[in-house]
Amino acid sequence: MKEQKEIVAYLKDKGFIYPGSDIYGGLANSWDYGPLGAILKDNIKQLWKKTFIDEQHNVFHLDSSIILNSKVWKASGHIDRFSDPLVDCKSCKQRYRADDLLKQANHKNVSTLSLEELTKGINKLQCPNCSKQNWTNVREFNLMFKMSNSKINLNDDEIYLRPETAQGVFINFKNIMDTISPKLPFGVGQVGKAFRNEVTPGNFIFRTKEFDQLELEFFCHPNDANKWFKFYNHEIQSFLKNTLNLKSKYIKEFHVPTKELAHYSTKTIDFEFKFPFGWAELLGLANRTDYDLKTHSEHSNDELLVIDPITKEKYTPYVIETSIGVERLLFAIVSNHLKTIIVDDEERDILQLPFALAPIKIAIAPLTNKIEKQAFKLYEKLLKDSIGSIIFIKGGSIGKRYRKQDQIGTPFVITYDFDSQQDHQVTIRERDSKKQTRVKIDEITTFIQNHAK
């Protein structure tokens, strides 16, 4: 795996990810997705939706609001509990998560310590930045972004940007039951922005204050929760290893100890990935029990439960949740698939993305500019065949053009040459095998479909 700084530089140079607000000197830990990054991000979302929603029985889409009634966050526990323990060095003004500092100093069970216990532990440590021992007390810092809502609702002037998309699903449970009447078990998935005022954002796009989540809430009978937890564990493993082709050696499960579980969970597995900076959480799988539906039932005027059509049993479903950050996934995918190969003593970058993820699927290259017009006609024809994103590449030697496409992960380059006009054939070159095949123009789409991996 390449080093983090190489990956960051590569992603900027090739037009995937730029520092946010770049021409104004940037904004710490904010990133913009350029022409290739925007497509890659979207391809990840589409592939997740296909795998976890469209190809599953009884799983539905939802697109809920980012800004919700604040009562949602009171009921869910986010206003009271969604916080990190914060500590400042009074000498150099550096800010830290107290639990992170203690974990780095090898303290055990840090997440179970009270604020007083954390402060006691921190007072024994030196500031990693200035080496002084001059700390504030540890205090809770709520991670939700608070905004003024006075123009939207005069009765309630504090609102929040959602820190997770999941609550939008829970508060629509009744709407979904009343309108499309799904039979249990069923799932609701959605993709959308989430915001967290992280104390220590960083590690490139790993931890940012604004990110996209892919979340699936699967509702089932409480007795079946373990079965569905296992099912989704398997689905996640398969998605990571078979669909995204991430190497098994870079993935491990961390079974969160009971004492460290979030307040709504009885069982959580963090799937960790070996990022260039080390092992860290890529995504989570949790048994959220009936916590969310029950708490929203108590705080709203609605009973969020179901009645079994046969036994007439009334119960609150349990929820199995899978929650993934798109940016973390993108970081993992690029770290896994960006390789350097040596050809003729020369180092070359190649991004070996699965076909479904590649930002550009096909590049059309006229062998020389003398046949550019004819090649362009073929390009226009293929654009309408919806095989995927296609670009036209001219200028420079054909070898150089191949290499440039390898660098950005384009699986196929189609070369239109002098014979093409007569024999109605082109040469298709495959990124990974470098194999070149002569193919009839009418059979390009079939060839691509058969060879796309």
Q: Does 142 sit near ligand ATP (CB under 6 A)?
A: no
**Cβ at position 282, least distance to ligand ATP in Å:** 6
> How many chain residues touch ligand ATP (CB under 6 A)?
15
| CA distance linking residue 44 with residue 246, whole number of Å | 13
For ligand ATP, the closer CB: 196 or 274: 196
Q: Tokens representing 279?
A: 């092992």
64 Rama class: left (phi>0) / alpha (psi -120 to 50) / beta: beta
Among 198, 224, 372, 443, binds ligand ATP (CB under 6 A): 198
Q: Considering only 103-111, 145-153, 204-212, 355-363, which stretch makes contact with ligand ATP by CB under 6 A? A: 204-212
Residue 196 touching ligand ATP (CB under 6 A): yes
Q: Which tokens is 99 given? A: 């639990």
Cα 231 from chain centre: 21
The residue with its CB nearest to ligand ATP is 325
283 scored as a contact of ligand ATP (CB under 6 A): yes
Which part of the chain contacts ligand ATP (CB under 6 A), choosing from 276-284, 397-405, 413-421, 422-430?
276-284
Q: Give yes or no for residue 37 binding ligand ATP (CB under 6 A).
A: no
Closest residue by Cα to residue 199 from 78, 84, 27, 79:
84
CB of 69 to ligand ATP, least distance (A): 21
User: Residue 187 carries which side chain, given as an amino acid letter?
Assistant: G
43 binds ligand ATP (CB under 6 A): no
Would you say how long the chain is, in residues?
A: 453
* Closer residue to ligand ATP (CB): 163 or 411: 163
Span of 52-60, 325-333, 405-413, 434-442 interacting with ligand ATP by CB under 6 A? 325-333
The site string for ligand ATP over 150-189 (x = CB under 6 A, - otherwise) reads: ----------------------------------------
Q: For helices 35-49 and 326-337, what crossing angle results, to 10°?
A: 110
Smaller CB distance to ligand ATP: residue 198 or 372? Answer: 198
The answer to whether residue 443 forms part of the interface with ligand ATP (CB under 6 A) is: no
Cα angle value 137/142/146 (rounded, 5°): 135
Residue 51 bridge partners (DSSP): none
- Judged by CB under 6 A, the residue of 284, 354, 388, 411 near ligand ATP is 284
Identified binder of ligand ATP from the candidate list 118, 319, 324, 365, rule CB under 6 A: 324
The site string for ligand ATP over 212-231 (x = CB under 6 A, - otherwise) reads -x------------------
Per CB under 6 A, 42 contacts ligand ATP: no
Q: How far is the CB of 292 from ligand ATP (least distance, A)?
A: 14
Residue 76 lies near ligand ATP (rule: CB under 6 A): no
Residue 281 interacts with ligand ATP (CB under 6 A)?
yes
Q: Is 431 in the site for ligand ATP (CB under 6 A)?
A: no
**41, 49, 162, 207: residue in contact with ligand ATP (rule CB under 6 A):** 207
Binding mask 235-264 for ligand ATP (x = CB under 6 A): ------------------------------
Of the listed pieces 11-19, 30-38, 317-325, 385-393, which binds ligand ATP according to CB under 6 A?
A: 317-325
Please identify, among the stretches 73-81, 203-211, 351-359, 409-417, the one whose residues bind ligand ATP according to the rule CB under 6 A: 203-211
The nearest distance, CB 270 to ligand ATP, in angstroms, is 7
* Site membership for ligand ATP, residue 325 (CB under 6 A): yes
Cβ(407)–Cβ(400) under 8 Å?
no
Nearer to ligand ATP, 182 or 201 (CB): 201
Applying CB under 6 A, the residues found at the interface with ligand ATP are 196, 198, 207-208, 211, 213, 281-284, 323-325, 327-328
